[in-house]
Amino acid sequence: MKKSIVFLLVSLLLFSFCEVTSGAGQSKNEKEKKKGKVEAVSTKKTPDKPKAKPVSKYDKLFKTKGHVATKGGFMTLHKVDDKLYMEIPLKYMGREMLLGSTASESSNPMFCTNGFKTNTPRHIKFTFEKDTTVYMRSVNAALDLQVDKERGELLKQRNFIDPMLKAYKVEAFNKDRSAVVINVTSLFTGNESDLSPVNEGGGQITISASPLKEGTKLDEIKAFEDNVMVSTWYAYNVTVKRGRSTLVSNAPLSVKATRSLLLLPEKRMRPRYPDFRLGIFQTGKHCITEAEDQLLNYSLVNRWRLEPKDPEAYKKGKLVEPVKPIVWYVDDAFPESWKEPIKKAVLRWNQAFEKIGFKNVMQVHDFPKNDPNFDPDNLKYSCIRYIPSNTQNAMGPSWVDPVTGEIMTASVIIYNDIVKLINHWRFVQTAQVDPRVRAKKMPKDVMDESITYVVAHEIGHTLGLMHNMGASSTYPVDSLRSASFTRKYGTTPSIMDYARFNYVAQPGDKGVKLTPPDLGPYDEFAIKWLYTYFPGAKNSKEEFKILEGWVDEKVGDPIYRFRKQQVALRIDPSALEEDLGDDPMKAGEYGIKNLKYIMNHLNEWIKDDPEATHRRALYQNIANQYARYLMNVVYNVGGIYLTDVKDGTSGKRVEPVSREKQQASLKWVLKQLNDCDWLDNKEVTEKFGLDVATSARLQNMAVMALFNASRNVVLSSHISKNPYTLQAYFDDLYNGVWESAISNREVTQADKIMQNGMLAFMKQLLKPSPGLAGLLGGITSEAGTPSLDEMKLYGLDEMMVVESEQESAYDEEDCEILNSFGLGYGYGWQRPVNTSLIDETVANCCGIGLKLRTLLMSRAMDAPDQASKQHYQAMLFMLMQMTEGIKI
C-alpha cells in the first residue's frame, strides 16, 4: 500500500514538472503565435457562469473578523464586536429557565460581593411566534391550578398568562432551521435593578449605583451543558446613605458582572409541603381549587433533590450514595489555614444524612487547578467564596426552582473579618475559663473550631434550614456548667441558633465544653424530615402525612421546638439571638461575673498592643456583651412566648411571661443600672482617649428599653389571666427610677440618667402630633418594634442586608390561610401589633406626673446635698414646662 502511494506521488510530480517546463524553450514569436491562437478561440461565445449562491442571513451575521462563538449542550452564544446574539434551539422554546446576576470581579468589595447572588433570579421562558419574533416572558410559577385540565387552561389563558418582558426580532435561522438567532445585547448590558450586581443595602443603609454608559462593555461568553454565561464590565458612581445622611457620594466602582441563564430540569422533583413547626425555607404558591371555597396560599420547602442510586438497597436500610451528591468547591483565595476547617464544616453534615440512609452526600474539593471545564461562575458549581472585606459576617444563599422548591445551586460567602468577630466572641465569652484565648491572636486550634462552627451554620442554610432562635433556651442554665452535659449536648440543640460560646461557665468549672455541638438533635431531625426518601409514597400528600406524624411525636419535647427569628417584632424572650439557657436572669448573673473577671485581667492578658487598639475593641465587646445580658432580661417585661401549635396537640400558641417573672426582671435590670460602674475601669479605659463613660451610655440605652417595654406590657396584660398590669409596671418603674428621691439620698450618675430618661419618655409620649395618632401621644402604639440600639446589639440591621429569613415571609393575611393539606402553608411571621385601642400608657404617665410633681417640689427644698437639690429643681422645671400647655 505504501509503495503504490509513493509511485503515485512521483508520477504526479513528474507530470507537473513537464507541464511547467514545456514552454521554457519556446521563442518569443512562438509564444505570441500561441497567444494569438488562444485569443482567436476566446472570441467565440462562452456559456454563462453559474450564479453564486446568495449569502444567508446567518452567514452575514457571523462571517466577520470580530465574531466569537461558544457552544454548549444548551445553546450557542455569538459575540460580534459589541453585539451579543443567542442562538436558541427551537426545542427549548417554552422551557423554563432562571436568569440571574453575580459579580465576578470588582474594585470595592464593600459595594459588590463576588460570587453573591444579590437578587432573586428571574424565572423566564422564551416563546417563538409567527417566525419573526421571540418573546421573553416571566413564568407565573406561583400559581397552582388544582382544577380539571380544560378549565385550568381556560383560567390561565384569560387571567394568568405569562407576562411579556421583552420582544426580540428574529435576526436569522441557523442552517437547518432548528434554531433562531436574536440580538440580546441590551439584556446583558442594561441596568435593570433585578440583574444588578451591586449590593442594594438594607435596614438603615441604602446603596444606589448609577452606571456610566461609556464604562459598559461586553466581555467573556461561555456555554455549558445546561447554562450559558455572559460577563459585562460596568462602571458606576455609587452613593451610600444612612437614613437621610450621605456617607459616600459618587464613589467610582468597576464591576465585572456575570449574568447566567440556567435551564431548569424538564422532569421536576417531587415537591414537599412544609410543617410550620419546623424552620425550613419556603417557596410561596397561590392555589385555585374546587376542594375549597376560597383561593388558597401555601408553600413548598426548599431542598436539594436527593435520590438513592440503588433504591432497593435503600429500602432494605443499607447506606447508599445519592444519584446527585451535593458538591462544594472551596475558593483558592482563602488563607491556606482556613481551608481544612471549612471542609470539616461541609462534611460535618454527612452524619445527619447517614442516619437517614445516605452516604457521601456532602462532598468538598478545592478549586480545580487544571480542569478547563471548572468555572466558579458556572451555576452548576456551588462554591464557598472568600471576600477580602472588613465585614464581620458570613452567609449562605441559594437559588431554587420556583415550581418545586428544588435548590439548584448555592453559595457560602465568608468575609475576611469573620475571624475578627470570632476573636472577640471567644475572648469576651470564654476567656474566664479558657487560657488559650487570652491573647491578641487566637491559637490555631481555637480558630479552626470556631471557623468550622460558623461555616457549618451557613451550610445549614444552604440545605434549607432557617434560624431557630428558640433552641438555646431549652437547656437549663446550670447544665451549661456541667462537663458531662455540655460534652454530650454542647450549648444548644441546634447550630442554627445564634448560641455562640459558653459564657455561663465559671473560672473554676473543669472540662466544660465551650462550643455549640457539631450538630444538635434539632438539626438532625430537620435533615431527616427534609431529605428522607419515600419510595412507597405515591405523591406529596402521602409524604406529608408521614412527615406530619414525625413532628407530632416530638410535640412537648423542647429540644425539637422551632421558634422564628424576631426582626420586625421582638416580644418572645425565649427566641433571642446571642443568649443561652432557660433563665436570662441567672445566665446574666453568671455572664456578668465573667465579664468583671475578664475586665480586671484585660491589661494583663493583652500586652502586645502599644496603641491599645485591640484592647479597646475587646472593651467595646465586653460592654456590648453586658448590654445583651441586660436586654435579654428586659424582653421578659411584657414578654409573650410564641409557639406554633397544631390543633389537637399539646401546647399554647400564645403565653404571656408570668407576672412574677416580669416584675422580677424589671427590678433586676434597675439594680444592674445602679451597679455598672465596673465598666469604667480606669486602668483599662485611660489608654483609650477622650470619650463619655461607657456606663452612662449603657444606662441610657437600657432604661429607654424599659420605658419602651410599656408597649409590650399593654399587650401582655391584655391577654393574661393574671396580668402584670400597666399600672403595676409603671408603679414599679416609678419606684425604681425615683428611688433616690423617695428615700432622700444623694443622687448618682445612674439616677440622673434614668430620671432624665423618664422625663424625656413622658415628653415624647405627650407630644402632640397631627391626626388620630396625636390623640394617642407621640410614641408608637405598636408592640414589639425594635429600637436602633436593639438592631445593632443583635445584628438585626446587618441581617436585613444579608439573609434575611424574611425573604420567605408572607403578608399577614396570607399567613392565616390553611391549604387543603393541613400544615403545608407559609410561616406566619408575627408583625407588630397595634394596641392603641387598649393602650392606657398616657393615663398612667399623667398619674406619674402628678405624683412626681409633689415629690420633686419636696426634694427641691430638702435634698441631702446641694448637687441633689439642683438636679431635682431642674427635673421639676422640666416637668412643669412639659405639662404647661396641657389643659385638663
DSSP string, 30-44: HHHHHHHHHHHHHTS
What is the structure's pLDDT at 740?
Answer: 95
Cell numbers linked to 320:
447508599
Distance CA 66, CA 56 (A): 18
What is the structure's pLDDT at 781?
Answer: 57
On the question of pLDDT at 580 being above 80, the answer is yes
Q: Name the most confidently modeled range: 44-48, 75-79, 156-160, 772-776.
A: 75-79
Q: Name the most confidently modeled range: 51-65, 114-128, 564-578, 591-605.
A: 591-605
Residues 657/640, Cβ–Cβ less than 8 Å? yes
Cell numbers linked to 387:
471576600
Sign of CA dihedral 489, 491, 495, 501: negative
Letter for the amino acid at 24? A
On the question of pLDDT at 79 being above 60, the answer is yes
* Cross-strand bridge partners of residue 384: 330, 412
Residues 666/738, Cβ–Cβ less than 8 Å? no
Distance CA 574, CA 633 (A): 10
- At 193, the pLDDT band (50, 70, 90 cuts) reads confident
Largest CA distance in the chain: 144
Q: Is 374 helix (H, G, I), strand (E, B) or coil?
A: coil
Rounded mean pLDDT of 424-431?
96
At 729-786, the pLDDT tens digits run 999 999 999 999 999 999 999 999 999 999 999 988 877 544 433 333 334 456 767 7
- At 885, the pLDDT band (50, 70, 90 cuts) reads low
What is the structure's pLDDT at 886?
Answer: 52
- How are the residues of the chain apportioned to helix, strand and coil, as percentages rounded to the nearest 5? 40, 20, 40
Beta strands 382-387 and 407-415 are parallel
Distance CA 719, CA 656 (A): 7
On the question of pLDDT at 293 being above 70, the answer is no
- Give 453: exposed, middle or buried? Use CB within 10 Å, 0-12, 13-18, 19+: buried
Distance CA 489, CA 581 (A): 13
Distance CA 230, CA 207 (A): 25
Q: 713: which residues sit within 8 A by CB, 6+ positions away?
A: 637, 638, 662, 724, 725, 726, 729
At 719-730, the pLDDT tens digits run 999 999 999 999
Residue closest to 281 by CA, chosen among 385, 380, 399, 361: 399
What's the Rg (C-alpha) of the chain? 35
Residue 614: count other Cβ atoms within 10 Å of its Cβ: 18
At 817-855, the pLDDT tens digits run 222 233 334 566 667 788 888 989 999 988 999 999 999
Cell numbers linked to 74:
444548551
Give the up-direction half-sphere exposure of residue 706: CA atoms within 13 A in the CB hemisphere. Answer: 33
Place of cell 428544588: 406
Distance CA 562, CA 576 (A): 12
At 591-616, the pLDDT tens digits run 999 999 999 999 999 988 888 999 99
Rounded mean pLDDT of 46-59?
73
Distance CA 408, CA 382 (A): 9
At 463-506, the pLDDT tens digits run 999 999 999 999 999 999 999 999 999 999 999 999 989 999 99
Residues 759/882, Cβ–Cβ less than 8 Å? yes
Residues 876/853, Cβ–Cβ less than 8 Å? yes
Q: 414: which residues sit within 8 A by CB, 6+ positions away?
A: 334, 338, 342, 384, 385, 386, 387, 394, 454, 455, 458
On the question of pLDDT at 203 being above 90, the answer is no
Residue closest to 685 by CA, chosen among 594, 624, 615: 615
Distances (CA, A) of 696 to 533, 678, 682, 701, 787: 57, 12, 15, 9, 18
Q: 708: which residues sit within 8 A by CB, 6+ positions away?
A: 761, 779, 787
Residue 853: count other Cβ atoms within 10 Å of its Cβ: 15
Helix 418-430 vs helix 613-634: angle between axes, to the nearest 10 degrees? 70
Q: 339: which residues sit within 8 A by CB, 6+ positions away?
A: 330, 366
Distance CA 544, CA 534 (A): 10
- At 797, the pLDDT band (50, 70, 90 cuts) reads low
Letter for the amino acid at 141? A
Rounded mean pLDDT of 705-723?
94
Residue closest to 750 by CA, chosen among 789, 707, 696, 679: 696
Residues 92/263, Cβ–Cβ less than 8 Å? yes
Distance CA 759, CA 741 (A): 15
Residues 849/879, Cβ–Cβ less than 8 Å? yes
Beta strands 143-146 and 282-289 are parallel
What is the structure's pLDDT at 820?
Answer: 28
Helix (H) or strand (E) holding 284: strand 282-289
Rounded mean pLDDT of 266-282?
93
Residues 503/586, Cβ–Cβ less than 8 Å? no
* Cross-strand bridge partners of residue 217: 233
Q: Is 636 helix (H, G, I), strand (E, B) or coil?
A: coil
Residues 69/62, Cβ–Cβ less than 8 Å? yes
Mean pLDDT rounded to a whole number for the chain: 86
Letter for the amino acid at 137? R
Higher pLDDT residue, 802 or 413?
413
Kindly write down the DSSP assignment for every residue of 84-143, as one continuous string: EEEEEEGGGTT-EEEEEEEEEEES-TTT--BT---SPPEEEEEEEETTTEEEEEE--TTE
Place of cell 470595592: 108
Cell numbers linked to 767:
407630644
Distance CA 450, CA 423 (A): 9
Helix (H) or strand (E) holding 765: helix 749-766
Distance CA 407, CA 865 (A): 70
Residues 678/596, Cβ–Cβ less than 8 Å? yes
Cell numbers linked to 178:
432548528
Rounded to 5°, angle at Cα 605 from 600 and 606:
110
